[in-house]
């Protein structure tokens, strides 16, 4: 279950080491989001603290860190980063302990540049530290939430054992990290040193620093030809609620065909702002912050919500949805600390067609953006979504002809990006050039059914538990995959997690037939699967339905696999796939682990592989796709030993 991680080498003479997803940028060139900040891993910086990790074991601090390693500081200790370029702002990703009974603590962290004037960040664990089984608990001392569920800790159903099995608390702690942004007050030069120090007397027994993002933030944007929210009573100090004032600005802007402008400031908003046929612009996400409390509803809403909170929502699809909405240049700071799936406490939601969302920073909401269609032609570009309780972005139900591009998502509590075709299919949508890092649960990118959808040029790193870098799943009541699915030119790294219920390792890309056949034309072309914890490619049907559903018509072409803890391909389903120009190296086990549907017939496995040529390389057992494995030799090893691969390197 555990495997070593890889990260950037320690710097020479304090030189800055800039990485992308804890890899040399050259290894992921052209993949992922183009961002305005430089990301530096703490384990590659100068420190008086202790490097923790690398480790990929669930429920550990290094496993949830970018690159699976971080730095642990105690009182008086520091980590120091050398700026690679001019910067006037930093983002610190960190973890501090929970309170003994849950709910979090706060603790200071001093920030100095070249020993100059000190700024103090107040770190918090109020939005971190979940426990237990889905949908999780904030109580570290709680017994198992679902004693009627099977759990891997005892390989039992707790309430069905005699005496009932009691879990050790805290049970399955997770979601350890948070991040915080800080404007430094002036611009510093490349080569200046940013030091993060835990002051003496900190109430935190330890402070873990994962990484630092440094950025040169542009001056605030000013729009003089707009409906300025201040003129309608909005309070930029955040002391008074500004929701009604923003509503008045929106109404005026719609009558006069103007934009709404939110100047620099913090605006308190504790409910949804309904947007339709309106443009709302801030001064930039570092300057304009829309921040709210989570509010208990006196009676549940018709959709089942028991809370509300800050969010910008299109009208419900049943009411026709919204059109011509354009949101840009501000931050949304929520107050969500527990996962309640019926709650509509997302940063952006509802239904929005012919609309754009650009340049937002969304933090501490349930889901960054959750859309309930039918709706069409939405463009989501250039946003940062961090520290969510659930998904980063989800296209749910009938979202069509829409694009999610150049977004950066870190520390989602569920899928980073998802298309979920529940009841109505998502169609002709594209996830392109996005970066998804450290999703704590589930997948980096997931397609649940749908037609003619594309996942291209994305970078997915470090999924933590019970998911993959990329999943195509027939599950969650999704409509069938039809037409095509194009999975092209993506890179995953350190992907493929341990599935607790099955007690097996998953692939970096995972096709899962649970509720239907998967038989659409699926093209996996030009993808790179790097430093795979277990398999690179996994095709599976759940055991109870293995004789009902199969996976066919899957085509892998021009793929590179650099390092697997186990096999290149793991087949645990009936069906077939073809392979052409799939090159592999540093393979830890037999190239193809073919279990089929576990009948082990004399005719061979129920899953067949077609070699279309050019499939080169392998590992200790020889070529990964050897002639003796074709078309359907049974090579089943249910739980093969894991061999940690070496760090990825340039492909000659």
Structure-token match 């709210």, residue found: 292
Per residue in 516-555, pLDDT (tens digit) is 999 999 999 999 999 999 999 999 999 999 999 999 999 9
Distance (Å, whole) CA 32 – CA 457: 6
4 has a pLDDT exceeding 70: no
Beta strands at 307-308 and 278-282: parallel, antiparallel or unpaired: unpaired
The DSSP secondary structure of 251-289, one letter per residue, reads HHHHHHT--EEE-SEEEE--SEEE-SSEEEEES-TTTEE
Q: What is the pLDDT of residue 117?
A: 86
Q: Which residue in 352, 49, 86 sits closest to 204, CA to CA?
A: 49
The encoded tokens of residue 142 equal 């709680």
Averaged pLDDT, 499-521: 96
Give the 3-state secondary structure of 6-20: CCCCCCCCCCCCCEE
- Segment (H or E) for 572: strand 569-572
Residue 164 DSSP symbol: P
Q: Does the predicted model carry a pTM greater than 0.85?
A: yes
Banded model confidence at residue 3, pLDDT cuts 50, 70, 90: very low
9 has a pLDDT exceeding 60: no
Averaged pLDDT, 590-616: 97
Averaged pLDDT, 56-73: 97
Averaged pLDDT, 352-375: 98
643 has a pLDDT exceeding 50: yes
619 has a pLDDT exceeding 90: no
Contact between 76 and 200 under an 8 Å Cβ cutoff? The reply is yes
Q: What is the pLDDT of residue 477?
A: 97
Contact between 236 and 207 under an 8 Å Cβ cutoff? The reply is no
Count of Cβ atoms closer than 10 Å to residue 394 Cβ: 26
What is the average pLDDT score of the chain?
96
Distance (Å, whole) CA 643 – CA 567: 10
Percentage above 90 pLDDT, the chain = 96
Q: What is the pLDDT of residue 13?
A: 53
Alpha carbon distance, N-terminus to C-terminus of the chain:
31
Averaged pLDDT, 182-201: 97
202 has a pLDDT exceeding 90: yes
7 has a pLDDT exceeding 70: no
576 has a pLDDT exceeding 90: yes
Averaged pLDDT, 308-329: 98
Banded model confidence at residue 250, pLDDT cuts 50, 70, 90: very high
What are the backbone dihedrals phi and psi of residue 204, each rounded to the nearest 5 degrees, phi first?
A: -85, 125
């Amino acid at each position: 279950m555990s495997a070593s991680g890889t990260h950037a080498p320690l710097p020479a003479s304090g030189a800055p080491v800039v990485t992308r997803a804890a890899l040399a940028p050259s290894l992921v060139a052209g993949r992922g989001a183009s961002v305005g900040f430089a990301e530096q891993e703490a384990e590659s910086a100068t420190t008086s603290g202790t490097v923790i990790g690398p480790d990929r074991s669930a429920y550990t601090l290094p496993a949830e860190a970018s690159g699976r390693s971080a730095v642990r500081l105690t009182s008086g200790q520091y980590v120091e980063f050398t700026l690679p370029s001019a910067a006037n702002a930093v983002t610190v990703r960190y973890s501090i302990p929970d309170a003994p009974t849950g709910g979090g603590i706060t603790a200071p962290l001093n920030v100095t540049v070249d020993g100059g004037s000190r700024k103090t960040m107040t770190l918090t664990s109020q939005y971190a530290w979940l426990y237990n089984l889905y949908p999780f608990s904030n109580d570290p001392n709680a017994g198992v939430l679902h004693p009627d569920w099977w759990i891997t800790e005892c390989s039992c159903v707790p309430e069905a054992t005699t005496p009932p099995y009691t879990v050790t608390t805290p049970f399955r702690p997770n979601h350890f990290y948070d991040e915080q942004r800080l404007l430094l007050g002036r611009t510093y030069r490349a080569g200046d040193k940013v030091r993060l120090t835990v002051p003496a007397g900190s109430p935190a027994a330890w402070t873990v620093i994962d990484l630092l993002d440094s950025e040169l933030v542009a001056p605030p944007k000013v729009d003089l030809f707009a409906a300025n929210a201040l003129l309608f009573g909005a309070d930029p100090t955040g002391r008074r609620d500004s929701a009604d004032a923003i509503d008045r600005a929106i109404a005026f802007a719609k009558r006069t065909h103007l934009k709404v402008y939110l100047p620099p400031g913090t605006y308190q908003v504790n409910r949804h702002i309904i947007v339709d046929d309106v443009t709302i612009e801030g001064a930039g996400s570092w300057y304009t912050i829309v921040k709210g409390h989570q509010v208990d509803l006196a009676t549940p809403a018709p959709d089942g919500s028991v809370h509300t909170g800050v969010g910008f929502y299109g009208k419900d699809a049943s009411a026709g949805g919204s059109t011509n909405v354009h949101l840009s240049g501000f931050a949304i700071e929520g107050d969500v600390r527990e996962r309640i799936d019926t709650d509509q406490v997302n940063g952006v939601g509802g239904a929005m067609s012919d609309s754009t969302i650009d340049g937002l920073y969304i933090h501490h909401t349930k889901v960054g953006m959750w859309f309930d269609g039918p709706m069409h032609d939405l463009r989501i570009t250039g946003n940062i979504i961090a520290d969510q309780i659930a998904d980063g972005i989800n296209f749910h139900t009938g979202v069509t002809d829409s694009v999610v591009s150049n977004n950066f998502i870190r520390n989602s509590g569920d899928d980073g990006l998802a298309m979920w075709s529940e009841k109505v299919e998502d169609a002709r949508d594209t996830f392109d050039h996005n970066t998804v890092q450290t999703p704590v649960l589930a997948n980096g990118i997931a397609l649940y059914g749908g037609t003619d959808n594309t996942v291209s040029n994305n970078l997915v790193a470090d999924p933590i538990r019970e998911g993959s870098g990329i999943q195509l799943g027939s599950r969650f009541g999704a409509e069938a995959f039809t037409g095509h699915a194009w999975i092209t030119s993506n890179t995953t790294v350190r992907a493929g997690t341990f599935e607790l219920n099955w007690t097996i390792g998953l692939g970096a890309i995972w096709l899962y037939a649970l509720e239907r056949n998967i038989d659409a034309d699926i093209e996996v072309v030009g993808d790179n699967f790097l430093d795979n914890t277990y398999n690179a490619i996994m095709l599976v049907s759940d055991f109870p339905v293995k004789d009902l559903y199969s996976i066919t018509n899957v085509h892998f072409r021009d793929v590179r696999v650099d390092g697997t803890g186990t096999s290149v391909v793991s087949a645990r389903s009936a069906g077939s796939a073809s392979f052409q120009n799939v090159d592999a190296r540093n393979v830890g086990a037999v190239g193809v682990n073919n279990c089929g549907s576990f009948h082990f017939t004399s005719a061979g496995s129920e899953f067949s592989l077609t070699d279309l040529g050019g499939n080169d390389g392998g590992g200790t057992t020889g070529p990964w796709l050897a002639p003796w494995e074709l078309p359907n030799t049974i090579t089943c090893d249910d739980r093969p030993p894991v061999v940690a691969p070496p760090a990825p390197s340039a492909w000659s």
